[in-house]
Structure 1
């Protein structure tokens, strides 16, 4: 029996319904070429057929706010059904992917499915509201909700993760990401926190020039995050330690998305949690704290947020 997924999209500048849908269902070359997502079309057409699809699970239903887009999306990713209201999926699918990065609407869209006992994958960032994060917490921890940036699973970080013990004491990390803190900060947050085994202690917004944030840790490690706005695409991480240095430029979107979706598929089909849901709470707490720091021009100590979330600081 095939497990049925619902797919909800689309937001401006975010083609995840097409890229994630193609990874799960395969794709129709002609329909995808007409979708005006050339970046996605160009990287999926270069992948081997063996890299598409998962056993016994398919996206069967799609919804976007534009019926013409919905029809094109369904054709592009070989989905059978277009629904007129995403709520129509509640009784039709086994799990749902909300492939939209408008975090302001995530709670409203996810809530009916979560409260119906349906597993949900929500595009990042999950939220920038602490009260919403507290609502989501139990669903995250009990394995009904997943929300994580694909960059946490980037192939380019594999060597660093495998050899991190050989670095010795980490001294500083510098990172840069395109666009703004609210929507793109979570990429680099999940990428870096996926490397190190330590919770951030504080965050301070420093400069408007390059959207510079400084994150500190109990160990003395300092991490800078530059949000570059409308710049050349970059997801860059540089690490310095007592013994080594490493520079990583992350470019392989397909592989990081497939690795993330693999984890969601395992969650849906086997109820296996092969990631740490508490990491989402930590990452979003840092994202929220960074926004507060910028808006109030002060250093934010994360202990209070951790306490409200029931996380040990």
Structure 2
């Protein structure tokens, strides 16, 4: 059954008329601004449509919306996690609590600023922290290197250096790229070459990790017992710059085959693993990018808290 609205007479009527085994799909809740505002009255109207509340949307568990968090209070004795949500939390907890050593976190993606809290939280837990992707050029620049026209966050250079120092203090092995696949433009058909980290020519940009780095990172990953991967090593969407991400994916699979626990952290990492057809070769692929990051940072997710209270 389908209702043209998520609240109101038709939705209430159709919900009441459901037979055993039938499902009623409501119209998109976000057509109401009250959903994202976490409006209590709106949540109560939704709550009247059912007897039990099951939240299976881990991808929005970090948002305190009406349907993901506020509504749970109207089901004090009948609120539950769905199978996906339970699996997400279970697998995240394997990383957060009692991860087998050596524990390696692989951080990629474009910005250090998106991952600061996660990196700081992981420095308390990991043995190895691998940094690749666009964010690695901020570290290279902070170290006085030449990065050409590569992606960089100039206001985060001090932060990058402080993370390097923190890793040293905590005895965490921080691995940064040794070399890079460089290009003269951001395009699949660009002219490419290999450049040592910190030695990229002025008009060139780094778009993937280079062969020496692939070897170094792959070896560390293959010897790990617990792996968290969040963020690609390069612009894997373009065939010319997918090799680094592909190699790391293969190393994660190899470690998993040898008994390691591997969690792929949503977003681009999940897309990369899917692109290479390896979703079933790792321990778990998370569906929640932002939600997983916040959970890993040690934050309480509103959608989880609402069920546990």
Task: Return the index of the structure with the highest Cα Rg.
Answer: 2
Higher share of residues assigned strand: 1
TM > 0.5: no
Q: TM-score range by the shorter chain?
A: under 0.3
